[in-house]
Chains A and B, each alone.
Chain A
């Protein structure tokens, strides 16, 4: 059972445009939603994350929009640049367990983003 569904699988955007990637989750107990960026041959790198007590979080050109009732969240990349070309993963987890540690992440399948110069 795929608990986090991500779309689109691939996306081509012109330089300067807005890239939008969407995710939907099923487990209403999830309360931590990060986005990761991965370049070929590298490990995923944390980009930005949100918790469900806010509907939007912005860091530089990257914005997460969160809709708790629809169980959906999205990543917007403003003024997209060729250096943003990478694979992006959404993920979800419980914030932590009773023992005080973090919980494992459930990832979407990824979006391969290409920014054309």
Chain B
């Protein structure tokens, strides 16, 4: 079955790098996503990676995918206070809807 897991909480200092981790179980996943949700707001698509890639970089964001271990990570370089939010990883499988992880709350200390 499908199951996506994330750690619940991460605290970093402003300027440091943040790494948010995610594991998934469905080997048929086609795409994997990272979404950001700020308090009281909807979901913002940050980035995504195709399952046959192992890395994608987009400005301060780096996504690493280890398909063998079914492990996905999001690295945010030079983390800012505006990065404080909940980050959800999600996988897309054959039915094309998304299965979400529980979300990681990132707290950035000034």
Asked whether A and B interact, the reply is no
Chain B interfacial positions (CB closer than 8 Å to A)? none
